[in-house]
Amino acid sequence: MRRLLARRMKFHLFGAFFVSIGCAALYKFGVAEPRKRAYAEFYKNYDAMKDFEAMKAAGVFECAPPK
C-alpha cells in the first residue's frame, strides 16, 4: 500500500493529459477548421452593398428608409 497514491496519480495525470490533447485535436479538426472554411467560402462571394440594399428594401434601417 506504500506510495499507492503517487502511482495512481502518475497514471491519472498522464491519462488526463492525453485525453485533453485528444479533445483539443478533435475540436480543432472537427469544429474550428470547418468553421474557418465556411467563413472563407461565405466571404469569397459576399457583396455587402447587395445585402445592404436588400435590408434597406425590407425596412430594417431607420436611417435609410425603403423606397
* pLDDT tens digits, 7-51: 999 999 999 999 999 999 999 999 999 999 999 999 999 999 999
Can you say whether the dihedral through the CA atoms of 6, 9, 10, 11 is positive or negative? positive
Q: Return the pLDDT at 24.
A: 98
Q: Return the pLDDT at 62.
A: 85
In-domain check, residue 2 = no
Largest CA distance in the chain: 84
In-domain check, residue 39 = yes
3 backbone φψ class: left, alpha, beta (φ>0; ψ -120 to 50)? left
Q: Return the pLDDT at 2.
A: 86
Query: How many domains does one find in the chain?
Result: 1
State the residue range of the domain holding 60: 32-66
In-domain check, residue 24 = no
Question: How far is it, in rounded angstroms, from Cα 28 to Cα 41?
Answer: 18
Task: Indicate the residue type of 7.
Answer: R
In-domain check, residue 25 = no
Question: What's the whole-model pTM score?
Answer: 0.67
In-domain check, residue 3 = no
In-domain check, residue 22 = no
Query: Could you tell me the three cell numbers for 48?
Result: 455587402
In-domain check, residue 13 = no
In 10 A of CB 52, how many CB atoms? 13
